[in-house]
């Protein structure tokens, strides 16, 4: 038997937990991450943030047909909800690109196309939940409203209410325990039903002597909306308005080593991936990051990774640099940067301890995802897993492995499969999360930093 060396993956995270300088660097990195979280609660806001950061670092908007050469820093924004950015390498593009793929949409409540009504002198908004949520978790917490309105006169109005200290917030009520006997007999999935996720948006009537106003509280809300945005009721139909938790990102625990925030799946990978790309000066291979939308509902639509937008981008740079899409894609390597479920001591039975990921143990390499007999899995090739493992080991970056829970208990997927379908090598790698998909999720500063280091190292493969 080979003796364990201090650089083995197991020993590395234990050594780093005692390394004050390393912990300091991780904490400093987390400060930037928390700012990103507060500024990026929707896919559109995350795209905006990324574009601004890229432009500050010398990236320019790429138009199909533009000439390209080594060292060029470009980005391609897609529908304001997803974005690909790249630095052109010195090596021929036919040697493939090194890609980090993360998603920037998170579970939330979308407003219905016709959402506003009045019921017993309260004005409420109907919602339709997006992604996998435990519906009861979204009641009785402060909520914010984010999104865009497209008005009849062609104006586009950006909306964000509930984030500023001076802003009001919104609220979904739940029954008091005193009267919840019947509710508590419902199955947990129906404890709060989809049609009960109604958001309180107003309670005062319109100040008017006109008795013909049938729904004065709703009318008052519409008046306030018109004053603030110029919208009328039918403009809801041409809007994308999302209800998200109004919480700010905070340090959690007396030692401040954890981060609590909304939307960390998967912005906890999007941020380190973006930072890793921004740090590349002149890479040998062309490096890229895709921040994509709609992962939480199956990567559908023209902003999700099942659409061709990413492939078109690769085809365009491949042809411009004298190669072609199929050659480049087959030679490319990708980390699908998404979260995994961290071992939870309170709910230990859902994990198989030898193959669970743990808080503070570093970036999680997830060889395959899927459910039951690996159904729907993207299963990374052993050769590629080895290449990534060895690179992380050589750079002393803490990593661990993890499956999403026990066999046959549930499962999940990422964008890995859609990228693997294009012919590239793909491995899932990301940050372990506690309370994934809850309105407030928990991650480790050390794992976020380890993921950044891992992503940076991967782009140099």
What span, in angstroms and rounded, lies between the C-alpha atoms of 163 and 90? 44
CB of 102 to Mn ion, least distance (A): 8
CB of 291 to Mn ion, least distance (A): 12
CB of 58 to Mn ion, least distance (A): 29
Scanning 32-40, 186-194, 337-345, 375-383 for contacts with Mn ion by CB under 5 A, the matching segment is 337-345
CB of 132 to Mn ion, least distance (A): 7
Strands 333-337 and 340-341: unpaired
Scanning 50-58, 187-195, 330-338, 387-395 for contacts with Mn ion by CB under 5 A, the matching segment is 330-338
Dihedral of CA atoms 164, 167, 172, 175 in degrees, nearest 10, equals 110
Q: Binding to Mn ion by residue 43, rule CB under 5 A?
A: no
CA angle 174, 180, 186 (to 5 degrees): 90
Scanning 175-183, 200-208, 332-340, 402-410 for contacts with Mn ion by CB under 5 A, the matching segment is 332-340
Q: Tell which one of 72, 338, 425, 447 touches Mn ion (CB under 5 A).
A: 338
Task: Name the burial class of residue 18, with classes exposed (0-12), middle (13-18) and buried (19+) by CB atoms within 10 angstroms of its CB.
Answer: exposed
**Nearest residue relative to Mn ion (C-beta):** 266
Q: Where are the alpha helices (DSSP H) in 138-285?
A: 216-229, 264-278
Size of the site for Mn ion (CB under 5 A): 3
Residues in the chain, overall count:
461
What phi and psi values does residue 147 have, to the nearest 5 degrees? 150, -160
Scanning 11-19, 272-280, 322-330, 335-343 for contacts with Mn ion by CB under 5 A, the matching segment is 335-343
Nearer to Mn ion, 266 or 456 (CB): 266
Dihedral of CA atoms 338, 405, 420, 265 in degrees, nearest 10, equals -20
CB of 339 to Mn ion, least distance (A): 5
Nearer to Mn ion, 266 or 447 (CB): 266
Kindly write down the DSSP assignment for every residue of 326-392, as one continuous string.
HHHHHT-EEEEE--EEBP-GGGGGGS-GGG-B-TTS-EEEES--EETTTBT-----HHHHHHHHHHH
Nearer to Mn ion, 51 or 267 (CB): 267
Nearer to Mn ion, 293 or 338 (CB): 338
The answer to whether residues 194 and 128 touch, using CB atoms and an 8 Å cutoff, is yes
| Strand, helix or coil for residue 429 | strand
Kindly write down the DSSP assignment for every residue of 279-311, as one continuous string.
T-SS-SSEEEEEEEB-GGGTS-STTBTTSTHHH
Nearer to Mn ion, 93 or 404 (CB): 404
Scanning 7-15, 19-27, 334-342, 447-455 for contacts with Mn ion by CB under 5 A, the matching segment is 334-342
Nearer to Mn ion, 45 or 338 (CB): 338
Strands 82-87 and 286-292: antiparallel
What part of residues 250-289 is at the interface with Mn ion (CB under 5 A)? 265-266
Nearer to Mn ion, 205 or 301 (CB): 301
CB of 107 to Mn ion, least distance (A): 7
What span, in angstroms and rounded, lies between the C-alpha atoms of 405 and 413? 12
CB of 51 to Mn ion, least distance (A): 21
Residue 296 has a CB neighbour count (10 Å cut-off) of: 20
Of 138, 116, 298, 295, the residue nearest 221 (C-alpha) = 116
Nearer to Mn ion, 62 or 138 (CB): 138
CB of 265 to Mn ion, least distance (A): 4
Nearer to Mn ion, 265 or 293 (CB): 265
CB of 198 to Mn ion, least distance (A): 24
Judged by the rule CB under 5 A, the positions of this chain that interact with Mn ion are 265-266, 338
């Amino acid at each position: 038997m080979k003796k364990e060396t201090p650089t083995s993956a197991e020993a590395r995270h234990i050594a780093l937990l005692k390394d004050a300088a390393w912990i300091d660097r991780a904490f400093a990195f987390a400060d930037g991450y928390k700012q990103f979280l507060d500024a990026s609660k929707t896919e559109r806001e995350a795209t905006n943030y990324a574009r601004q950061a890229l432009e500050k670092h010398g990236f320019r908007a790429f138009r199909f047909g533009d000439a390209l050469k080594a060292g060029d820093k470009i980005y391609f924004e897609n529908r304001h909800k997803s974005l690909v950015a790249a630095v052109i390498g010195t090596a021929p593009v036919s040697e493939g690109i090194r890609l980090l793929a993360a998603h920037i949409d998170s579970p939330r409540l979308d407003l219905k196309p016709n959402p506003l009504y009045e019921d017993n002198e309260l004005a409420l908004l109907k919602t339709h939940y997006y992604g996998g949520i435990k519906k009861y978790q979204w009641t009785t917490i402060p909520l914010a409203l984010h999104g865009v309105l497209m008005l009849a006169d062609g104006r586009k109005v950006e909306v964000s209410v509930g984030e500023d200290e001076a802003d009001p917030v919104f609220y979904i009520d739940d029954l008091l325990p005193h009267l919840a006997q019947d509710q508590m007999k419902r199955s947990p999935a129906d404890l709060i039903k989809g049609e009960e996720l109604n958001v309180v948006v107003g309670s005062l009537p319109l100040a008017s002597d006109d008795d013909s106003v049938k729904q004065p509280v709703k009318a008052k809300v519409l008046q306030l909306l018109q004053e603030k945005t110029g919208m009328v009721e039918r403009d809801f139909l041409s809007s994308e308005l999302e209800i998200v938790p109004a919480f700010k990102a905070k340090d959690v625990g007396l030692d401040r080593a954890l981060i609590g925030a909304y939307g960390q799946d998967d912005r906890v990978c999007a941020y380190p991936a973006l930072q890793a790309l921004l740090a590349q000066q002149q890479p040998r291979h062309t490096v890229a990051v895709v921040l994509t939308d709609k992962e939480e509902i199956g990567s559908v639509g023209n902003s999700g990774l099942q659409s061709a937008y990413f492939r078109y981008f690769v085809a365009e740079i491949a042809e411009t640099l004298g190669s072609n899409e199929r050659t480049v894609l087959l030679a490319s390597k990708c980390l699908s940067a998404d979260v995994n479920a961290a071992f939870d001591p309170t709910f230990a039975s859902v994990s198989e301890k030898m193959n669970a990921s743990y808080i503070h143990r570093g970036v999680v390499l997830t060889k395959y995802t899927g459910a039951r007999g690996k159904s729907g899995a993207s299963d990374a090739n052993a050769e590629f897993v080895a290449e990534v493992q060895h690179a992380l080991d050589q750079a002393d970056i803490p990593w661990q492995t993890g499956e999403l829970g026990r066999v046959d208990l549930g499962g999940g997927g990422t964008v890995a499969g859609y990228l693997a379908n294009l012919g590239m090598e793909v491995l899932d790698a990301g940050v372990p999360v506690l309370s994934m998909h809850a309105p407030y999720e928990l991650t480790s500063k050390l794992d976020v930093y380890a993921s950044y280091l891992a992503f940076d190292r991967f782009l140099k493969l």
